[in-house]
Amino acid sequence: MKFLRTLVALAITVCVALLAVAIAGYGSSQNMGDDAKVPAEVFEPFGWQASVTKSAPGPATVLVSGDGWGMQGPVYTKVAVVAESGVYRMLRYKTDVQTGEDVLLSPDGGEVADALPHQIVGPSGSPTTPPKSVEPEIWITDLVTGKSTRSTVPGTGSARPIAWSPDGRKLLVQVAAAPDHGPWVGGDLNLLDVESGDVRRLAGLGSEPVNRANLAAFSPNGNRVAVQVGDALQVIDLRNRTTRTLTRLGADRRLAGIGAWSPSGDRIAVLTLSGCTKLCTRDALDDRTWQIDEIDAQSGSPSVGGFERVTGSAVRVLGRTDDGELAVVRYRPAEDLSSDTQGTLFVDGDVVEDTDYAAVGDVELLGLDASGDRRTLIELPPGSRHVDVAADLVNDDRFDGRSSRPTPFPAPFWVNALAVLVLVLVVWFALKVRRRARA
């Protein structure tokens, strides 16, 4: 009898404790301090983690996407948003997405750009999907308010964001005919003023497939853009509206990524690929070697020195610190990734780009410096395939911050309802057992 009473008391205590934790989770920010830092480790979010639109997290430090259980679902692919405050929230999309390519975090971490369908709050206060524009569209989501706004870009086809300007006021946007699978071909590179919505065409991208992860990069002052058109590395001066070809890269070289410019703006990083390019197995693709060197931003001639070589199916420079350390995303190939006699990459018979969601098995974010030192900048959760970090934090080398685990609440209505139901059933059962013990 005493044992049953103790069991009932314990069950009720556990239920009350769980309810208290759930209530405390609402609005809990787990404040990491006044100075934002990128956490040393990102954890797997809960599958039902609250969305940005329902519970805006504030400025973010890092975005992560992949196929972990917390980032995949029967309807949505999700992007984990890790806020400066330490809270985790989700961006939800009805298609596979590549963080840092499809979904771009602004330099200050306050906004996210993408070109995917969005819901907005209608006049009734309920979410509604607006009619698709006849022109390509870009969406900007404010992480402080959770609201999304749409801008259109003149042209035909589809749009996708390429890179934010350092001040976060402008966005490079590619417009082209989107294929069902694989890399986009050609199209136009445009400059979108995020506040006014004004758009200026900067360059035609030719008629060859485009490596989006290595397509274009703003200079540190935002006055110039480096863009790869075919094998030509061009520099566009946004002030005087001139374009010149800096150098020819050749077949196995490419712009290093959105963080290719040196902090002083006098050098641009390029990648040189060595290893398998045709008839490659997954293992051969994983053994590819990428040499990161720099060229002079005025003459196009090689600069002295370079960085340690990196292996992997693909590499992208995300940014660099004021001290010159590169933040490098290293991609590992998916198990079923291979290439044909032309070097075209395939997964399950579908053509893919080398950083496509289906082409990537997992990803790492590394720090490289010219002395050859290497470090892991963020420990990412299992299943991570793509990552993006607020550029301002990369520039200031604000890594190794405190890590915060996601909390299960706030949660969607169905999770809240299920939690309450379970608590009610436990209490009901405990009371029923107690009444029987007294009988």
State how far the Cα of 290 lies from the Cα of 315, in Å rounded to an integer: 7
Edge to edge, what strands does the sheet with 326-333 contain? 314-320, 326-333, 360-368, 374-378
CA atoms in the 13 A half-sphere facing the CB of 244: 9
Closest CA to 38 of 347, 387, 407, 421: 387
Tokens (6 digits) for 114: 């993408």
Helix 2-25, helix 413-438: angle, nearest 10? 160
Q: Classify 387 as helix, strand or coil.
A: strand
Residue type, 6: T
State how far the Cα of 424 lies from the Cα of 23, in Å rounded to an integer: 16
Given a contact cutoff of 8 angstroms between Cβ atoms, the answer to whether 179 and 185 are in contact is yes
Give the model confidence (pLDDT) of 353-384 as tens digits: 999 999 999 999 999 998 888 999 999 999 99
Tokens (6 digits) for 10: 């314990």
Given a contact cutoff of 8 angstroms between Cβ atoms, the answer to whether 113 and 171 are in contact is yes
Residues in the chain: 439
CA Rg, the chain, in Å?
24
pTM of the model: 0.90
Residue 23 has a pLDDT of 46
Given a contact cutoff of 8 angstroms between Cβ atoms, the answer to whether 41 and 379 are in contact is yes
Residue 425 has a pLDDT of 74
State how far the Cα of 107 lies from the Cα of 388, in Å rounded to an integer: 10
Closest CA to 395 of 164, 89, 97, 138: 164
What residues in the chain have per-residue pLDDT under 70? Answer: 1-34, 121-126, 413-414, 416-417, 424, 427-428, 430-431, 433-434, 437-439
Tokens (6 digits) for 23: 């209530």
Residue 30 has a pLDDT of 44
Given a contact cutoff of 8 angstroms between Cβ atoms, the answer to whether 247 and 230 are in contact is no
Given a contact cutoff of 8 angstroms between Cβ atoms, the answer to whether 276 and 288 are in contact is yes
Residue type, 128: T
Count of Cβ atoms closer than 10 Å to residue 136 Cβ: 25
Residue 124 has a pLDDT of 62
For the chain, report the end-to-end CA distance as a whole number of angstroms.
Answer: 11
CA atoms in the 13 A half-sphere facing the CB of 92: 19
